[in-house]
Structure 1
Amino acid sequence: MLVELVGQSGRDLDNVSANPARLVNVYAERTTEGERVLKSVLGMDRHTQLDGVFVRAMGRVDGVTYAVCGGHLWRINLHGSANDLGAVDTGRATLCGNNGYVCVQAGTRYFVYDPDADTITEPAAGAFSDIGSVEFFGNYTVITEAGGRRFQWSALADPTDLPGLNFSTADGKDDNLLRGLAMDGRLYLFKQESTELWYNTGEAGADAMARVAGGVWDIGLLSRDMLCQFEGGAFIVGSDNRAHLVSSGGFQPVSIPPVETAIKIDRPQACLTYSDEGHTFCAIIFKDSPAWVYDLSMNEWHERAEGVNLGPWNVAASCKIGKEWAVGRNNGEISILRRTNADGSTPLVREITSRTLRMDGQRTILREFEVFPRQGFSAGTMNLHISRDGGSTWTPPKPKPIGGQGEYGRRVLWRNLGQARAINAKLRWTEPRDICLSTQARIVT
């Protein structure tokens, strides 16, 4: 009989045996007939190496990609080189454009890069000098206060000028600002425990910004880097320890219990986004475990890991370089996301773990187990592991070749797998081959 092996990743570290199902470095999509198939995530292809470590921010201004790394601002070129544009500051950073200028918050300082003059300046302080973030909104550079509730804005179309009276206070709730984000023609001010919605009044100077009536929500950001923006909305990890989509002035929770457990115990670091073939992905990056990735097109979660032991995905920011998505890594490397089925010289290990297949409480012999990968295009080997205790322990790998080029009809079939009352199957493959796989398997008992 045919069984559906796995839906989305659902392994909760609080209770692994309840549902050991995982999709690691693979994600699901539907065919035109409605069948679910699994595809490899995009691999990382090294583009350039920046001096220093920790890519703190990435962004595009007038089609050019910039990054903050090692206390410097860098221009990332299409052909794989990078130019050091000058020193900024160390620490967390944000980046935006304003009429050709590149505006950078680094540490608690504010810098402006002028591409025409090829100079970086640090404008004189306006309403305050401890800078928390920068964002472009309505021809202004909006700057939030680090450790405070105030935000200020530059002169119109001139980010080098910070008039002292161009500020207001996000005082809908008594908590501090973390980040500003322009979206839907409005300004979202994310705070520690709340979010406020502001708009551009069209007036000049100190009267340019006003809060939308009723525009205060009791959800803030978990931390200032737990936000990313995609076309049509934003993705955040909120102060309530849940993942949300934000659009049209509303918050839609999308996290599932395993994600919320990871947010609680695995030290989330940042959120980032990228897309591929009609899928928009929003990732929560963790210090201690693989990233959890939400697929907007499927409304499902999978995991993104790195290395043969499926460790954390060591990335911190994302942005397009030309027409391709790139990520900034914790070692200062900028990598392009491509269907290479490898992370540079490191294998991209793909692993799926099935939900628990229960045999009506009876000890049942699993005589055959067959899966249906794409065949005939490249050689590869799949390893099968079996668990009879809810995913706590696994058998040694049982390798099975899927067939080489031209072998379209070869069966990927294991026989005589023992008996149990409940069974989980784990499939794992590492070759740099584009191997797709049906989410269904055939079993014979």
Structure 2
Amino acid sequence: MLRPTPGLTLLTTLQEESLGSEMITSGNFSSPSPWTLAAKWSISGGKLVHIAGAADTASQVAGSMVAAPVAGSTYRVTFTVESISAGLFTVTLGGATYASPIIASGSYSFEITATDTTGLILTATASLAVSLDSMSVKTLTYPQYAIRGMLPVGDYLYVVYGPYLRRLDSAFSSTTLNSDWLMNSTGLVTMAHIRSGDGFQIMICDGTDKSAYIYDTDTELFTVLNELDYDFQGGGSVAALDGYFLSHQVDGDRIYNSEVSEGLSWDAADDSRAWVKTSDIQRIYAHDQLLWIFKQDGAEVFYNSGEAGDTQPTFQRMSGGAINIGTIASWSVASIKDKLFWLGSDKTVQMATGQSLRTVSTPQLSYQIEAMATVSDAVGYGYTEEGHDFYVLSFPSTDVTYVYDSSMDEWHERESYDSDRQTDGRHRSNCYAYFQDRHVVGDFANTKLYELDTTVRTEDGNRIIRQRITQNINQDNLMLFLNRFEVHFEGGIGLANGQGSSPLAMLRVSKDGGHVWSGVRTAPMGGKGNYDTRSYWAQLGSGRDFAVWLSVSDPVKAIVIGAYLDYEQGYA
């Protein structure tokens, strides 16, 4: 049985607004210049005043502004109405007028999206009597950062995107936790947590030498770890084990541990060395109560020796805990239950159960990986759904994603539609967390969080093309005559209306082993409630080396139960 890959449902978009420089001159009304004031408008005593008597305007033309509006850009307009006794006025910027006329005193802040390049205009009714102060116009943008890491802790999901740490509740409402201490804004991060006091501490590493971040859920303090103030020597990546935070040197073979239950207390002497292999540590990962230490030329497995405070290091290598295959991509390391996966230094995908190692990449997949120019940026995560354990491995430089179903010992490829490039590429997911009974993934290109959902047939509204290409069909290089090819889909899966109400399966045939493909032929899959529809294609031609390409793009539940081929054997 072939099952459809999950769709993506948008859960939330994380946004932090960014304001540009001031665009108008004399917004504090210290001078009439460069304002253009009609008869009933005046500037006096640091106020912009209109008296009743005429419907007219106060404006600042584009040429007098610090910067003219740009059509399509959004601007934050703020000002204070100190007094207003009658009438109203409107605010227009870049050809667009704010929807609500100003009729009451108070502080105002709103957005206007310009439609042209004209300046700022205040238009008063004839009866208006008003006094204004402190006007400002600034460009408003929402920077597009990648989702860099996620970690569920207690009742919340903590998400790093760009330079920000956000806390999300069960409704996916979010709060920024580090407005005063911004992090670096690019690259994936590792995250871990321990219990501390009456709450938790969350530690974040972005690969910066001797630098990391701690957020305390009890005190709600965000702290930057460094060498000077905290004797912190790590920064490469972080793991948590038995109440300790652990972090390794960016360039070296040492791993440092915090005090138990206290991520703000470090001692450079509390260290362990992974010295069996000579290369630098690439990644540490806590798995099955053990600490896995990955280098490029091998890996080592450590455990908590219980010798904290003695002359021996707290964490020591297990007997037999040296593994010859390291990782060429530190972000590829991921676990599912008792299984640990990574992209090996030999460009094969490795799976460890306990300390037993097995290569799970097929020769065909290994060939594809070997052909890639860059694999060091590969990123992986794992999850379990409907009894299947999936290891998702993306290669950003090659723009492709491969997924291993360890329950079936099978690989498949996942693609997402890129609306900007209008083509398919790597899957949108960049990192993963299981939170509130949802499989939550973060986007690699923007600040969106999605739910992986097998009941959804699109990705945030974008279509999914589900495809299966057969292995070559040949028989001793004899001529074959293909009479009929039938696919047994789960029936009655059409939607009530719209696209997918009469779903179609598409078929292309190659007669030369997959080099040249025929045009697309379609067959019905069965509308809603039509369980006896048969999807088949007849008279597919003759050849010696066939391949069949099956695809479905309608947003329906496309489950392949079986496929059948009727052919006749011909001459040599």
TM range (shorter): 0.7 to 0.9
Alignment of 1:36-435 (within 5 A): 37-51=1-15, 52-86=144-178, 87-90=182-185, 91-99=187-195, 100-108=200-208, 109-125=211-227, 129=233, 131-205=235-309, 207-266=313-372, 267-268=374-375, 269-287=378-396, 288-307=398-417, 309-330=423-444, 331-339=446-454, 340-378=456-494, 379-435=502-558
> What is the Cα deviation at residue 382 of structure 1?
0.5
Unmatched runs of 5 consecutive residues or more in structure 1: 1-36
Contact 2:441 2:451 in 1 (8 A): yes
> What is the Cα deviation at residue 219 of structure 1?
1.5
Distance in structure 2 (CA, Å) of the matches to 1:75 and 1:229: 24
Q: Percent identity?
A: 26
Q: Match of 1:417, SS?
A: strand
Contact 2:212 2:226 in 1 (8 A): no
CA-to-aligned-CA distance 1:337-374 (integer Å, 9 cap, x gap): 00201111111110011111114433333222211111
CA-to-aligned-CA distance 1:15-45 (integer Å, 9 cap, x gap): xxxxxxxxxxxxxxxxxxxxxx111011111
162-171 or 84-93: bigger deviation: 84-93
> What is the Cα deviation at residue 62 of structure 1?
2.4
CA-to-aligned-CA distance 1:268-288 (integer Å, 9 cap, x gap): 420111221000100110122
CA-to-aligned-CA distance 1:371-416 (integer Å, 9 cap, x gap): 1111123141001101111111111110111121222212212112
Q: Match of 1:408, SS?
A: coil
From the superposition, tell whether residues 280 and 135 of structure 1 become closer, same or farther in structure 2 (CA, over 3 Å). same
Contact 2:232 2:267 in 1 (8 A): no
204-213 or 147-156: bigger deviation: 204-213
Distance in structure 2 (CA, Å) of the matches to 1:188 and 1:130: 16
> What is the Cα deviation at residue 110 of structure 1?
0.7
Query: Which letter does structure 2 place at the counterpart of 1:271?
Result: G
Q: Match of 1:165, SS?
A: strand
> What is the Cα deviation at residue 63 of structure 1?
4.5
From the superposition, tell whether residues 138 and 390 of structure 1 become closer, same or farther in structure 2 (CA, over 3 Å). same
Question: 1:8 maps to what in 2?
Answer: none
Q: Match of 1:259, SS?
A: helix
Q: Match of 2:225, SS?
A: coil
Query: Which letter does structure 1 place at the counterpart of 2:204?
Result: V
Distance in structure 2 (CA, Å) of the matches to 1:70 and 1:265: 32
Contact 1:76 1:82 in 2 (8 A): yes
From the superposition, tell whether residues 253 and 362 of structure 1 become closer, same or farther in structure 2 (CA, over 3 Å). closer
Distance in structure 2 (CA, Å) of the matches to 1:258 and 1:47: 36
Query: Which letter does structure 2 place at the counterpart of 1:71?
Result: P
Q: Match of 1:239, SS?
A: coil
144-153 or 409-418: bigger deviation: 409-418
TM-score normalised over the length of structure 2: 0.69
CA-to-aligned-CA distance 1:206-250 (integer Å, 9 cap, x gap): 631222233212211112101011111211111121111123123
Query: Which letter does structure 2 place at the counterpart of 1:253?
Result: T
Distance in structure 1 (CA, Å) of the matches to 2:174 and 2:238: 23
From the superposition, tell whether residues 249 and 346 of structure 1 become closer, same or farther in structure 2 (CA, over 3 Å). same
Contact 1:48 1:334 in 2 (8 A): yes
Distance in structure 2 (CA, Å) of the matches to 1:94 and 1:327: 15
From the superposition, tell whether residues 68 and 265 of structure 1 become closer, same or farther in structure 2 (CA, over 3 Å). farther
Contact 2:259 2:265 in 1 (8 A): yes
> What is the Cα deviation at residue 136 of structure 1?
0.4
TM-score normalised over the length of structure 1: 0.87
> What is the Cα deviation at residue 155 of structure 1?
0.6
Distance in structure 1 (CA, Å) of the matches to 2:487 and 2:361: 30
Contact 2:489 2:562 in 1 (8 A): no
Q: Match of 1:225, SS?
A: helix
Contact 1:165 1:205 in 2 (8 A): no
Distance in structure 1 (CA, Å) of the matches to 2:184 and 2:387: 37
Distance in structure 2 (CA, Å) of the matches to 1:47 and 1:136: 28
Contact 2:6 2:452 in 1 (8 A): yes
Q: Match of 2:361, SS?
A: coil
Q: Match of 2:369, SS?
A: helix
Distance in structure 2 (CA, Å) of the matches to 1:77 and 1:385: 47
Distance in structure 2 (CA, Å) of the matches to 1:70 and 1:334: 14
Contact 1:61 1:96 in 2 (8 A): no
252-261 or 424-433: bigger deviation: 252-261
From the superposition, tell whether residues 364 and 164 of structure 1 become closer, same or farther in structure 2 (CA, over 3 Å). closer
385-394 or 184-193: bigger deviation: 184-193
Query: Which letter does structure 2 place at the counterpart of 1:160?
Result: L
> What is the Cα deviation at residue 124 of structure 1?
4.2
Query: Which letter does structure 2 place at the counterpart of 1:187?
Result: L
Query: Which letter does structure 2 place at the counterpart of 1:353?
Result: I
Q: Match of 2:486, SS?
A: strand
Distance in structure 2 (CA, Å) of the matches to 1:231 and 1:153: 25
Query: Highest Rg: 1 or 2?
Result: 2
Question: 1:9 maps to what in 2?
Answer: none
> What is the Cα deviation at residue 162 of structure 1?
0.9
